[in-house]
Chain A
Amino acid sequence: MKPRSGRLTFWICFIAASLAVSLIPFVATSEYLLRIITVTIFWIGMAGCWNIMSGYTGYIDFGPVVYFGIGSYATAIAMTKYGVPFFPAAVISAFSSALIAIPIGITTLRLRGAYFAIATFAFAETMKQIALEFDRTFGVSFFQGSHGITLPIGGHENTFFFYCFLSVTFAVILVHYGIEHSKFGYGLKAIHEAEASAEMAGVNTTGVKLRAYVTSAFFLGILGGIEAYWITYITPADVFNVHKTVQMVIMTLLGGMGTFLGPIVGASFLTILSEILGTAFVEYYLIMVGGIIIAIILIMPRGIVGTIKEWKGIRFL
């Protein structure tokens, strides 16, 4: 545990940062700028969710997008079919993702290494195919297949979504803080270092992994719900897109896996970079992203935050 003064510093920094970030909509000079910042905050939340599970435990989840997609569909179906207002719908999203994550977590978390990665990936692809084909196969109208679902337009400004994403992302960051300073967090890190020894030392490894898995599913569900309402149109190919998973992984890895600042640094850097590259070099964008990924892995496999820590020999936050 950290001394009290460290905690105080954290809370002062956190409150100052949150106040500063909350004021962005008042100073953002254009809607375009506000939109980019909103997208950045969204990705910090997404990458953070992946970091909670995979960054700390080293269990590589290749299907986190499934909980994002379930969240999107839960919000969309609740709003269009049952006329639920947006905020309760987002809560429904969070709980449906978390509830589905429990049985899936119990079964898949027994697997190690590449097997866990492939199983989670397979589950995400299965859900995508089910969302695509369920209606046609069983002759019902529920997921609307590849036509997708159009959500009611609430007439909200970008500012509204900025604050929605911001509050979820703050919550995810606070979970990180909790992980860094709790027995639960030590349990996660112990699993990363040596799972068998952790278990012998009395860590309930299955319980700890499951908690991390379900927590990350919970927040991914809300993020999915908000995104669906923001974009107002969802299709299985979009919300279950494997590229979302890849993006989460790469952002966290770039920033530094299993570090507090990793997802924040990685997501900000990559979102802004892709915004610049995406507009300047539309045709070569994906080639460059591929090159950047290879370069990161070869040059600084510990990510930006990890590399800085190594150089300076410091451990901040």
Chain B
Amino acid sequence: MDTVLLQAIINGLLLGGVYAAYSAGFSLIFGVMGVVNLAHGELIMLGAFTSYWMFEYFGMDPYYSLPFAMVFLFAFGYLIQKYIINRVIEMPHIMSYILTFGIHLMVANIALKLWTHDFRSITTSYSGANAALLGLIIPYSRLVTFFLALLIISGLWFFLNRTETGRAIRATSLDKEVARLMGVNIREIYAITFGVGAAITGLAGASISSFEIISPEMGLQYTIIAFCVVVLGGMGYMPGALWGGMILGVAQSLAVTYLSAGISVAVTFLLLFVMLIVRPTGIVGKGLVA
């Protein structure tokens, strides 16, 4: 294999890790509640900005601000679900799509008002540092996010399978009515689920702030990518986010290397479209079908 191809694949896998990190929460929220969260990108944006302001005001390293982003986004997600989305959760799902789109517009535009259109970035001592290995380049910060994605997904697995709350969440997603009969407080569980989904998304958002450009309007494009990743891996199947992320990352990276950067976006959507038609349960076939 030549170096160009190998480099493209490595870039794709690292990109895939980044994608997986911020898509797992989308998958969790869809899997448990059937909500397609169109404000997902805003959760990433808020996570990234938490990190950014911590760095600006306190000079805090973006990686130290991860827990703060997590706590802040958990509270944000919990409250949004508890006081807004829960009110339409029993209605047809279209209501939640439109509602979360309304939330997307509000959050993005309030952030725009507060923080302006400026493109910002965090420059640390290790920004842009790479590991060189056999003529291949591996950026450290992406590598960290890649491992963070693995950590997020395994942590989520542990939480869902080994804790009381996690089991209640799984029970609710399997059969809401029976879970209710067994004494599970469905609305509380939904609020916690959204909170957890938002927290891991905020965590991913904070971790990408060290190498991506951030602005209040960044959200929608991230929502779209999360969409694609989650469909490719299987909606509602958490490890699927890793599969989906890798596939999409490698496909995009190859398209950028051998075709053009512009057409790589078309490749993304074509892949998504074909996947939905041929295999709506995702590449490993474990996703939910509506």
Contact = CB atoms under 8 A, between A and B. Distances in A.
Given A246-B101, A253-B98, A290 B109 contact: yes
A298 B87 contact: yes
Interface string A109-146: 01111110111011101100110110011000000000
Interface residues of B, number: 45
Given A118-B231, A294-B106, A297-B99, 8 more contacts: A110-B277, A115-B289, A117-B97, A119-B272, A126-B270, A133-B262, A133-B265, A133-B266
Contact of A284 (B94, B104, B113): B113
Contact of A125 (B113, B224, B277): B224
Contact of B269 (A114, A129, A250): A129
Nearest to B272: A122
A23 interface: no
A118 B227 CA distance: 8
Q: Is the interface of B mostly helix, strand, loop or mixed?
A: helix
Contacts of B30: 114
A91 interface: no
B227 A119 contact: no
Interface in A291-306: 291-294, 297-298, 301
Interface of A: 58, 60, 107-108, 110-115, 117-119, 121-123, 125-126, 129-130, 132-133, 136-137, 246, 249-250, 253, 283-284, 286-287, 289-294, 297-298, 301
B290 A113 contact: yes
B88 A297 contact: yes
Nearest to A138: B263
B197 interface: no
14 contacts: A107-B277, A111-B276, A113-B34, A113-B93, A114-B93, A119-B276, A129-B262, A133-B260, A133-B265, A136-B260, A253-B94, A290-B106, A294-B99, A301-B88
A249 B104 CA distance: 15
Nearest to B224: A125
Interface string B261-281: 011011001101100110010
Nearest to A132: B262
Contacts of A253: 94, 98
A129 B95 contact: no
Nearest to A130: B266
Contacts of A121: 227
Interface in B85-108: 87-88, 91-95, 97-99, 101-108
B103 A290 contact: yes
Given A112-B289, A115-B289, A129 B276 contact: no
Contacts of B107: 290
A171 B290 CA distance: 34
B263 A126 contact: no
Contacts of B265: 125, 129, 133
